[in-house]
């Protein structure tokens, strides 16, 4: 009996050690050979973001004009420049007296990583609308739906808006479910939300104010896949309600990029939100609309152009 108990204890200890080792490996900064080949040049690398921001975790620095040159070995993948205004968001050409005002929310796809200031979907909407639409770009690279809601709750977005919003778009990419759950390594100070018993997100501090759960310690994610999808959809739905409260009658749309989980789309539509997939926005969508897959998956200027064209059809 003692031998069996000892063997069982040893096996249990071995299993625990193995699980902890797996967790440590999974959460390490392991970099594969492919990403080792990528590097960034330009003034962008000298510091573009401020960290430790209470409401949104991190955000671009104000009044910056930086160059960003992405290389794969010696091959230039993109060579762009970014300009931010005093509100820390990317600049968009001003339109005075436009009858429509669009608010764009999201991450680097909304910000326009890899393209110049005049090539973003925001800038192209302004140009193609011929004075009919003003756009405020409120997306930051690396953000997720938790920053979308947090920025509204803190009033950060409202302070940056100087037109009367009539439309809003949140651009969702597959990675947003993980980011909302705190799995973005660059987002250590991001806003932490949990879903309450009524299915609504409640702010409980920031990611750096909570310790790791037992699930994380043994190599699992803090939330299950279903819980991550529930949280991401709840954040967007709550943000849409906040937009309606702030700007009654605003038309809110969610654009979803390729690969977005069907569960997220189903939850969003169940909340009554208008969801548009990238296949609806760009019917001939393919890798040709991405900068340099499999190394760089941000949209090309042509993709931003098609997104702009699609948005303008929504107002016709």
pTM score: 0.89
φ, ψ of residue 212 to 5 degrees: the values are: -75, 140
Q: Which of 272 and 8 is assigned the larger pLDDT?
A: 272
Burial 277-294 (b: 16+ CB within 10 A, else e): bbeebbeebeeebbbbee
**How many C-beta atoms lie closer than 10 Å to residue 220's C-beta?**
15
pLDDT of residue 219: 82
φ, ψ (nearest 5 deg) of residue 66: -125, 155
Torsion of CA 81, 85, 87, 89, to 10 degrees: -30
The tens digit of pLDDT for each residue in 82-112 reads 999 999 999 999 998 999 999 999 999 999 9
Q: Does CATH place domain 32-314 in 3.40.50.1110?
A: yes
* Mean pLDDT confidence for 125-132: 96
Token code pair at residue 95: 């339109």
Return the half-sphere exposure (C-beta side, CA atoms, 13 A cut-off) of residue 28: 10
Q: Tell me, what's the pLDDT at 264?
A: 97
Percent of the chain scored above 70 by pLDDT? 89
Does position 237 have pLDDT exceeding 60, yes or no?
yes
In tens, the pLDDT along 260-281 reads: 999 999 999 999 999 999 999 9
Report whether pLDDT(29) > 90.
no
The confidence band for 16, taking pLDDT boundaries of 50, 70 and 90, is: very low
Whether pLDDT at 231 is above 80? yes
């Amino acid at each position: 009996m003692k031998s069996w108990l000892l063997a069982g204890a040893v096996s249990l200890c071995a299993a625990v050690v193995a699980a902890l080792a797996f967790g440590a490996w999974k959460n390490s900064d392991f970099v594969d050979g492919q990403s080792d080949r990528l590097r960034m040049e330009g003034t962008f690398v000298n510091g573009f973001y401020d960290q430790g921001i209470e409401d949104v975790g991190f955000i671009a620095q104000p009044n910056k004009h930086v160059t960003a040159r992405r290389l794969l070995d010696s091959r230039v993948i993109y060579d762009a420049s970014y300009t931010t205004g005093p509100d820390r968001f990317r600049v968009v050409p001003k339109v005075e007296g436009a009858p429509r005002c669009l608010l764009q929310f999201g991450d680097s796809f909304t910000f326009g990583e890899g393209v110049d200031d005049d090539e973003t979907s925001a800038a192209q909407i302004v140009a193609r609308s011929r004075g009919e639409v003003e756009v405020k770009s409120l997306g930051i690279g690396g953000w997720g739906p938790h920053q979308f809601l947090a920025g509204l709750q803190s009033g950060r977005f409202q302070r940056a808006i100087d037109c009367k919003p009539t439309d809003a778009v949140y651009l969702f990419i597959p990675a947003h479910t993980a980011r909302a759950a705190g799995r973005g390594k660059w987002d250590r100070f991001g806003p932490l939300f949990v879903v309450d018993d009524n299915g609504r997100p409640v702010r409980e501090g920031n990611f750096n104010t909570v310790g790791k759960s037992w699930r994380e310690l043994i190599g699992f994610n803090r939330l299950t896949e279903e819980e991550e999808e529930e949280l991401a959809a709840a954040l967007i739905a709550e943000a849409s309600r906040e937009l309606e409260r702030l700007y009654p009658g605003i038309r809110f749309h969610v654009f979803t990029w390729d690969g977005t989980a069907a569960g997220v789309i189903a939850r969003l539509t169940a909340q009554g939100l208008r969801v548009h997939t990238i296949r609806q926005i760009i019917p001939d969508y393919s890798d040709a609309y991405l900068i340099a897959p499999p190394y760089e998956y941000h949209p090309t200027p042509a993709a931003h152009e098609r997104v702009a064209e699609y948005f303008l059809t929504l107002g016709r």
